[in-house]
Copies of this chain bind each other. A is one copy, B any other.
Amino acid sequence: MTTALLTDHYELTMVQAAMKAGTAQRRSLFDLFTRRLPEGRRYGVVAGLGRAIEAIDNFRFGDEEIAFLLTNDIIHDELAEYLANYRFTGDIWGYPEGEVYFPGSPVLSVEGTFAEACILETVLLSIYNHDSAIAAAASRMTAMDGGRSCVEMGARRTQERSAVAAARAAYVAGFTSTSNLEAGRTYGIPTIGTAAHSFTLLHDTEEDAFRAQIAALGENTTLLVDTYDVEAAIRLGVELTDGRLGAIRLASGDLAIMARQARDLLDDLGATSTKIMVTSDLDEWQIALLQGSPVDGYGVGTSLVTGSGHPTCGFVYKLVARAESEEPDAPWVPVGKKSKGKNTLGGRKFAMRRLGADGRAETEVIGLGTPPANDGNDRELLVPIYRGGELVYTATLDDARRRHQESLAELPLSARRISKGDPALETLILDAEGDETTNPYQAAPIVTNI
């Protein structure tokens, strides 16, 4: 399925104008980054790289796409021919998926001709802005789960294809499974499910419903116990399974009180291994509040798939350097616009996480020019993704999950605080001479800047 039209109209008309002017082939370097984290967030989480790679590989203008663009007078013949043969031939590097990031981190850099790099802007931003927003929320939740399991259950609360991407992003950030079957099929994420109130209501009695569920799914199933009377339902579930019931789900009410009462009752009835899963508008604060409660799993929906108050990241994709002319070896010129509060750091960057003697991260170092000598305490952050149009990034979804865990473990403990605060690391910006310079990002507002 082509991703080529998941693109803003102006990307193509800009390329058309540049072709006519003879500037479309100038080597160009675009950085994808955010000027600041959402208010109060202490770190961001890179997610979406795996999907971005798929999107780049499927960025193909077929006959239908070309016909649409020509018929609607969006492009002319010269551009049509270029697009029909479009393949990305440049270089891409960036932060690996799962890595944490800070204001100004060059999360993804795309170098190619202006034409080939420019037209990837929209789809790359769509993917990064969505997936990283979900991963950031997910990471705050798993940081609060006390080693219990967080299950992604938000499909119904977000657009149907976003739901699949959200399940993937949540998995990167430590969720253990999803209710979303397409996410299971597409990404191999374990899927799980319980039952809905409709299943109980379909049957003449709760007992009929429970018997039906146990008969079909086994004693290890999870029974939803709050359709009528929680206590009676728990007693019934334990009785029907001789105490071997897999789990119960609580989906309403004061979950801390109910989980405690349910645990006591289950234990009294001898069902000591029956687990308790809770759902019902959970977010990172609710999950944190339940740390002292006998809960075994959290099903998280709305709050996860809407980024817990921050459904998008504020990533932008900015031209930071371009060649002086169309010649392949023309010298680079760093560029940046001058609008107030929207300054861009021109030129190609390096990025490193500086670690203290204890191995804890201390600073995000981003600089132009030559990286400072690495005394062993700098962890390089940028990895190659495409080289000359060839994919060289091979990390899997499980690698991303691991990368996230390790990156988070390396941050100061304050990063995991749930309260609002400043970014966990300061970003140090080095100019081309290696001198510290003002961070043009930290103080600037998130802007749409289309």
Contacts and interface: CB of A to CB of B under 8 A. Distances in A.
Contacts of A446: 281, 302
Place the interface of chain A in its size category: 35 or more
A357 interface: no
14 contacts: A6-B160, A9-B184, A9-B191, A68-B185, A74-B191, A114-B202, A123-B160, A129-B156, A129-B157, A130-B159, A197-B337, A201-B322, A253-B340, A279-B450
A30 to B, nearest CB: 7
Contacts of A121: 156, 196
A8 interface: yes
Nearest to A222: B10
Interface stretch (A211-219, A234-242, A369-377, A417-425): A211-219
Interface string A330-349: 00000111111110000000
B280 A126 contact: no
A322 B197 CA distance: 13
Nearest to A251: B449
A68 B18 CA distance: 47
A14 interface: yes
Given A185-B68, A339-B252, A312 B319 contact: no
Interface stretch (A20-28, A86-94, A398-406): A20-28
A16 B160 contact: no
A448 B283 CA distance: 11
Interface stretch (A174-182, A289-297, A378-386): A174-182
Given A13-B195, A68-B185, A201-B337, 14 more contacts: A6-B155, A7-B181, A8-B180, A14-B195, A18-B199, A20-B215, A21-B203, A23-B202, A68-B184, A122-B160, A131-B159, A201-B319, A279-B449, A302-B312
